[in-house]
Amino acid sequence: MNVSQAIQERQSTRAFTQQAVDIETIKSILNTAKHAPSGVNMQPWQVAVVQGESKQQLSQKMTKAFRDKQQEKMDYNYYPTEWVQPYKSRRVETGKQLYQALNIQREDKEKRLSQWEANYRAFDAPVMLLFFIDKSLETGSYLDYGMFLQNIMLLAEENGLATCPQGALGEFPNLIREKLNITPDKKVIGGMALGYPDKKHPVNQYRTSRIELNEFCDFYN
């Protein structure tokens, strides 16, 4: 698989098999992903690989907090506080595609709630990756972090694995820090589901669209 194939075949997978991921494969992916560029080589990433009983316990805690409406403030604003066009329309369209794939009707609030709740189980993938960054770092380091995350996703594709990057896994930062004994000087950026894809599941059958080149790129001679 070349880089172009990996980029185009990567998708946000929301249904996984229970096949375990070899720990050496995970280590290899992260060890290669670390070669992402970063300003003055700060390498701002810190990763928690959560599996097995630890993942089950953490997922249960987040799920219960979500069901009990025990909201926390994220360590940073992932989404805008006010949605404007064209981003609002793209968000709505993406949600429609998801629920249509799952045959969940708009008025079925319980099923929608259950689907959102699956975020906190990393969609039942065998591996949950959680990402942290030092609170002292600024916006440039978040840009660097994005390249590190992309490396992980492309390397997962190369290894026959699937991923779903998840901002939702940053919604309970204090709970996560407490459970994993992470020091308070680390912000929770979010997480990622990692595992082998359930290729037959309806939720993995749709693909979100991408705008045309001329809609986001201008050329100057």
- 25-77 pLDDT per residue, tens: 999 999 999 999 999 999 999 999 999 999 999 999 999 999 999 999 999 99
Is 90 exceeded by the pLDDT of residue 107? no
Q: From the centroid of its chain, how far is CA 161? A: 14
Q: Is the pLDDT of residue 109 over 90?
A: no
- Looking at per-residue confidence, does 114 or 161 come out higher? 161
The domain of 151 spans: 3-79+120-203
In a domain, 93, yes or no: no
Decide if 112 is inside a domain. Answer: no
* Residue 103 is assigned to a structural domain of this protein: no
Q: Residue 194 domain-assigned? A: yes
Strand partners, 133: 187
Q: What average pLDDT does the chain have?
A: 96
**For residue 113, is it within any domain?**
no
193-217 per-position pLDDT tens digit: 999 999 999 999 999 999 999 999 9
In a domain, 73, yes or no: yes
Domain count, the chain: 1
Residue 180 belongs to a domain with what CATH number?
A: 3.40.109.10
Helix (H, G, I), strand (E, B) or coil at 92: helix
CA distance 160 to 153: 11
* Radius of gyration in angstroms for the set of CA atoms belonging to the chain, rounded to a whole number: 18
Identify whether 95 is part of a domain.
no
pLDDT at residue 65 in the model: 96
Alpha carbon distance 187, 98 (integer Å): 29
- Do the domain assignments include residue 216? no
pTM: 0.95
Q: pLDDT-based confidence at 106, cuts 50/70/90?
A: confident
Residue whose C-alpha is closest to residue 30's, from 133, 131, 120: 131
* pLDDT band (50, 70, 90) for residue 12: very high
